Amino acid sequence: AQTVTQSQPEMSVQEAETVTLSCTYDTSENNYYLFWYKQPPSRQMILVIRQEAYKQQNATENRFSVNFQKAAKSFSLKISDSQLGDTAMYFCAFMKTQGGSEKLVFGKGTKLTVNP
Amino acid sequence: EPEVTQTPSHQVTQMGQEVILRCVPISNHLYFYWYRQILGQKVEFLVSFYNNEISEKSEIFDDQFSVERPDGSNFTLKIRSTKLEDSAMYFCASSMARDRGQTGELFFGEGSRLTVL
């Protein structure tokens, strides 16, 4: 079974600074997807960034980038130039590529607060 | 922008009562899901639904739970006889079918908070 671990329950950062959220996972699969989802207060979870395990290049979406270390089973999220609107819960998630449905396995989340 | 909507946003019920949580997925999506999050714990997969049948379910999804898509738009989760430990936030999600090996992004609703007394 897959597991996802987020070791930082809470983090804070000053506006305009950079913050890195950690995520490690455990799987015996070779091909899979990794995701970071953001959940602002009282809002739905939205996808921030996605990484396919077979791709060596780290995914980037504007101010969000990942450091994917497949051998170490590590998938951290870096947020550059943090903005107040980045304040949210961030969930790291894993999905197998095999099988019909798209079942996500989530970590417990990291609550990020961006301070003005 | 299309989104997944869930009702009710919060429901309080007595132990042993039946509860139905409703979801309207994005209209052209084909895969539907329920997840739940007990306070302070991980978001957990409950069930996925495709082509009018359950495609996968977790061990949490026992005989007390059922899902259906009665009218082609709503996707419901029914808990037949609620227990205290069913208190959680329940999230509905939907996605398009996979295309050429690319996974479909899951779009989540805002959640329905269930409190069982």
- Say which DSSP state A70 is in: T
Alpha carbons B78 and B86: distance in angstroms, whole number: 12
Q: Is A40 or A78 the better-scoring residue by pLDDT?
A: A78
Q: Best mutation site among B6, B7, B43, B54 for testing chain A: the one with the most A CBs within 10 Å?
A: B43
Q: What are A73-114's pLDDT values in tens digits? A: 999 999 999 999 999 999 999 988 766 567 899 999 999 999
CA distance B98 to chain A (A): 9
CB < 8 Å to B44, chain A: 106
What are B20's two structure tokens? 């139905």
Alpha carbons B62 and B10: distance in angstroms, whole number: 23
Alpha carbons B8 and B107: distance in angstroms, whole number: 18
Q: Identify the three-state secondary structure at position A29.
A: coil
The reported pLDDT for the residue numbered B117 is: 96
What are A19's two structure tokens? 């913050």
Average model confidence (pLDDT) for chain B?
90
Contact B108 A46 (CB under 8 A): yes
pLDDT surpasses 80 at B101? no
Alpha carbons A42 and A89: distance in angstroms, whole number: 10
CA distance B86 to chain A (A): 18
Alpha carbons A115 and B92: distance in angstroms, whole number: 31
Question: Checking phi first, is residue A48 left (phi over 0); if not, alpha (psi -120 to 50) or beta?
Answer: alpha
Q: Best mutation site among A47, A104, A111 for testing chain B: the one with the most B CBs within 10 Å?
A: A104
The reported pLDDT for the residue numbered B30 is: 87
What are B59's two structure tokens? 């061990």
